[in-house]
Amino acid sequence: MADRDLANGIASTEVQEGRIVAGVLDGQDVVLVRHEGRVCALAGQCTHLKAPLADGIVADGTIRCPWHHARFDVQTGEAVGAPAFAPLQRFEVVEDGGQLRIARPSEPASVPEVADTEGLGRIVIIGAGAAGHACAEMLARHGSGAAVTVIDQEGDAPYDRTFCSKQYLAGKAERKDTALPMLGEVDVRSGVAVSRIDREGKVVMLHDGSRIPYDRLVLATGAEVVSPDFYGSDRAEVFALRSLADADRLIAAASEAERAIVVGSSYIGLEVAASLIARGLKVAVVSDDALPLEKTAGPEVGAMIRNLHEAKGVEFYMNRRIARWDGHVAMLDDGVEVKGDIVVAGIGVKPRVELAEAAGLELADKADGGGVKVDQYLRTSDPSVHAIGDIANVPDPRLVHSIRVEHWVVAQRMGQWLARHLMGQVDEGYADVPFFWSGHYDLSLRYVGHVASPDNRTIDGDVSARDFVVSFAEEGREQAILTAGRDELALKKEHRWERQDRAEAGE
């Protein structure tokens, strides 16, 4: 715990290069890091969800959050890697006579603006989800917001979609807590849809008749939920969960319900189950899988997750499907009846590629993950059009083939990378290591990397005790890990793979 009183000073020798020293200054958590000989003092809680940065790591001039892998510049405090956007507060450090004294808070470090904003041209971003918002926010942060137009069909201000199945749905956060940072000088067209893209004229046509010209077009259209297919699935009491509006409707319905049926035992489905349990509902999960999460995490983790949810009151009906639902009782395909006042579908999503397809852009084969095919610079088959987030099928340097990943932080990092690339701040191709997290009551899972199947896996630790790392290999090479209770290991593995990717690329 961070309990050292920094007001009394600290010996210089206690702060070694690249190590984190935790303390308290006037009741506030502070971390000290020596970077390139200089000691930097920063607020000790991540600005995303207040994780203790003392439990993180220092890597490549950044301090990295142990919970959700946000990154902050050690010297400036700037949030350089999502899911955090707000900077860390800095403190002045005086080093004299072998002692360090932490003084008053420093002024926020200025973010360098783009020297040639006119050279960026007109940037139009279709979509204000994780990828589109992160791209626009990074451009605006560096003084280029006036060059950007964001088209947001959904209508809500940009928000953190992960809250929909977790904190907001569980009643642990208010609606306002889901908000993402506003977009400065960006022209946000909210509540209007794109009708088509005129690539030859470089114009985006809106349903309201507006025409928006572009020099660079960024497709960040995201994904949409897969609808369930059973008799009665069109009833009003059957809910999908993708948007904040979906969560609003589900919360309203849950307030009048006693029992809920969740279709699907994926990460989202189980998060919904846990959130509805937190709201006092009785929950049943119906899934055509043998075990929860088995297809991504393996049977050992699947069995542990099932036991955890069952201990909280969730009932499981595995290897089963709903045949029909009358609004009160679901009849399963084996004849078993399951009572439920509401049904929530959590059976996956599919990329929204209709605009890209109609515009004649090259799509990836469904067997390869589908989506819009892009190169290492996130360019589509039209060099003036980029695709990011859930729709992007992007080359992965470690796997040596392209993948499409539907993770929140991946989409945000992709958007941030593209913004930096457009501003001329990065030249190498996009090569971020995929990462996501999933919360189940008091258990947090971290997944780093990517594999198509969990079949080739090894386990270190005790899965039943929720202290483990599962390593997944593809083509004989470790490509992903799933951890519980080993946050530092997940961070270090992510960083090691980043360095390997850069070395193999010859940077």
How does DSSP assign 73-92, residue by residue?
ETTT--EEETT--SPPPEEE
Q: What are the boundaries of each domain within the chain?
A: 6-105, 118-223+350-422, 227-347, 442-504
| Alpha carbon separation from 347 to 163, 174, 229, 270, 293 (Å, rounded) | 18, 26, 11, 11, 12
pLDDT given at position 376:
96
* Structure confidence at residue 387 (pLDDT): 98
Q: What is the pLDDT of residue 502?
A: 66
Q: What is the mean pLDDT of residues 469-480?
A: 96
DSSP 175: G
Which stretch, 3-17, 97-111, 361-375, has highest mean pLDDT?
361-375
Confidence of residue 96 (pLDDT cuts 50, 70, 90): confident
Q: Do domains 118-223+350-422 and 227-347 have the same CATH topology?
A: yes
How is the beta sheet containing 259-263 ordered, strand by strand? 238-240, 342-345, 259-263, 282-287, 315-318
Q: pLDDT tens-digit profile of 351-377? A: 999 999 999 999 999 999 999 999 999
End-to-end CA distance of the chain: 38
Residue 103 CB neighbour total at 10 angstroms: 11
**What CATH number does the domain located at 6-105 have?**
2.102.10.10
Q: Is the pLDDT of residue 306 over 90?
A: yes
Across 416-492, where does the E strand assignment appear? Answer: 435-440, 443-449, 457-462, 467-474, 477-484
pLDDT tens column, 408-465: 999 999 999 999 999 999 999 999 999 999 999 999 999 999 999 999 999 999 999 9
Where residue 503 falls among pLDDT bands split at 50, 70, 90? low
pTM (predicted TM-score): 0.95
pLDDT tens by residue, 132-168? 999 999 999 999 999 999 999 998 879 999 999 999 9
| Domain 227-347 classification at class level | alpha beta
CATH architecture of 118-223+350-422: 3-Layer(bba) Sandwich (3.50)
46-to-63, 69, 238 alpha-carbon distances in Å: 10, 10, 37
Residues 78-84, mean pLDDT to the nearest whole number: 97
Q: What is the mean pLDDT of residues 400-404?
A: 94
Confidence of residue 1 (pLDDT cuts 50, 70, 90): very low
User: Quick check: 273 pLDDT over 80?
Assistant: yes
